[in-house]
Structure 1
């Protein structure tokens, strides 16, 4: 049974500052049947955004797009809109239009308990840009979402204001990370002598990235398949693969920007390679 208990703050992280399409609209006045019809119509027209549903202590959050409708509640538990409608027949609903990239970040925050870094504005800006920060920046006067050190949406803190920088836990998207690097390596294999270059990269980079040591077998490229030890963290994997792919591209005389990878441009791993959002 789906649990609709009250939300820990980290699960429903505040959305970027900006106008909502409608806010705290009661389904007593705008019945669910009419609301879902409007949502379907908006999605058919290309709408992307977040639908928040609340009734008393119950809640659910949905990420809407033309080809998707993803919902979650307590603990990041998946939930359908139909289930939320049954559990909250007299809900208050808020619909906020957001870029698809921001929706992906909101979805990434559905699980985990991110520990915030406290920073002061505007000095924080250089820190966030240099570290290619991806996450949410929360301040009393504004909220913004960032990708690879650049603002995607929202408003920035006031001068001298303390703000909290929160990053989603990448471990919860381990599968997406592995698929990303599998595809990048697959494309490189069609444009370079990848097996030879991968062997060279592992030797060169082992000191900086021990997981690439051929003897540990933590990261293996074999028979056109990337295999990664389950115990290796996503953070360590991303650092090693970013360094490895850059070195392979350099030695193979391939420009990463010329490879057919643009469909991956919303992934945070992409920005580690290219430095800025596409």
Structure 2
């Protein structure tokens, strides 16, 4: 999907499509953090969904709320930051606060640690790839940003024709190793609850026309004893939707739901929501916190 394997960490958070801007460029020199926190407490109690950005020079922090829950804060590379670090590290910040829908907030939070990757080709040709690969994440072109889930636009503005685009998504080639670890852990955990091998093999045969990497005779993607192996030559855009579909069909055949299985902290990992398995806060109560904590 991408042309460039790496891009530098941004010196500002990616732009976001907001339903309503509450305040922008609010300087903490004149409107201190204590007043901002009181305002956030009130909004959170009312079920606020949105994003706060704080910027000072090339340092920044972004906090995300979904339905009154502060999911947390982060900075470049998805590094977690708390309120104390934000106060101390950005004492003279310019603050922007805006509302967004809960699904948009969930995608922003899930994609927080994703490495930016430049998409191959130019818009609108890129759009066909995003739809085919059921893209999940942010697509940014200069100041335009759109938020996607399962290959569909949730909100935002699409790039101009001929534009190059950057993607922030747990599902891009830049995040291949992390994505493979997630699927390795997930399938291993599911197999420890219910044996997958026989039904998985039957499912792969049925799906091999749609997802050639699942062909058991090609052996590019295999699952034996709950251990996943993916050939290094198989692109993320091939194995991710293949694994997603194979797991869904296998569980349907077995009459089993992921909600009924003991999966540890897997539902709280960003790749869970990006795989269409549920929201990023499902089963992740440890990430839910109040403002200022």
Give the direction of change, closer, same or farther, for the CA distance of 1:145–1:202 in structure 2 (3 Å limit). closer
Query: In 2, distance between residues paired with 1:211 and 1:89?
Result: 57
Give the CA deviation at 1:70.
Answer: 1.7
Give the direction of change, closer, same or farther, for the CA distance of 1:24–1:120 in structure 2 (3 Å limit). same
2:244 to 234, 242, 245: 242
Asked if residue 36 in structure 1 is aligned to residue 9 in structure 2, the reply is no
1:114 to 112, 117, 134: 117
Q: How many residues align?
A: 251
1:110-132: CA deviation from partner (whole Å, max 9, x where unpaired): 342312334234x6544433332
Query: In 2, distance between residues paired with 1:194 and 1:75?
Result: 35
Q: Which residue of 1 aligns with 2:57?
A: 56
Please give the TM-score of this superposition, normalised by the length of structure 1: 0.67
1:267 to 267, 273, 292: 273
Moved over 6 A (4+): 182-187, 210-213, 230-234
Query: In 1, distance between residues paired with 2:183 and 2:45?
Result: 29
Give the aligned CA root-mean-square deviation in angstroms. 4.3
Asked if residue 209 in structure 1 is aligned to residue 213 in structure 2, the reply is yes
Give the direction of change, closer, same or farther, for the CA distance of 1:209–1:49 in structure 2 (3 Å limit). same
1:199-241: CA deviation from partner (whole Å, max 9, x where unpaired): 4345675x9336978x99x86465xxx4446997893653442
1:146-165: CA deviation from partner (whole Å, max 9, x where unpaired): 1112111112345x452515
Q: Which residue of 2 aligns with 1:153?
A: 155
Q: Which residue of 1 aligns with 2:287?
A: none
Please tell me whether the aligned partners of residues 49 and 63 of structure 1 are also in contact (alpha carbons under 8 angstroms). Answer: yes
Q: Which residue of 2 aligns with 1:136?
A: 138
Give the CA deviation at 1:173.
Answer: 5.6
Please give the TM-score of this superposition, normalised by the length of structure 2: 0.65
Query: In 2, distance between residues paired with 1:34 and 1:176?
Result: 40
Q: Which residue of 2 aligns with 1:80?
A: 82
Please tell me whether the aligned partners of residues 137 and 165 of structure 1 are also in contact (alpha carbons under 8 angstroms). Answer: yes
Structure 1 runs not aligned, ≥5 long: 1-6, 272-278
Give the direction of change, closer, same or farther, for the CA distance of 1:119–1:230 in structure 2 (3 Å limit). closer
Give the direction of change, closer, same or farther, for the CA distance of 1:84–1:128 in structure 2 (3 Å limit). same
Please tell me whether the aligned partners of residues 50 and 98 of structure 2 are also in contact (alpha carbons under 8 angstroms). Answer: yes
Give the direction of change, closer, same or farther, for the CA distance of 1:11–1:248 in structure 2 (3 Å limit). farther
Asked if residue 96 in structure 1 is aligned to residue 102 in structure 2, the reply is no
1:60-103: CA deviation from partner (whole Å, max 9, x where unpaired): 22223333342222343221111110122221111122233333
Higher relative contact order (CA 8 A, sep 6+): 2
Query: In 2, distance between residues paired with 1:249 and 1:133?
Result: 23
Give the direction of change, closer, same or farther, for the CA distance of 1:86–1:231 in structure 2 (3 Å limit). farther
Query: In 1, distance between residues paired with 2:191 and 2:101?
Result: 29
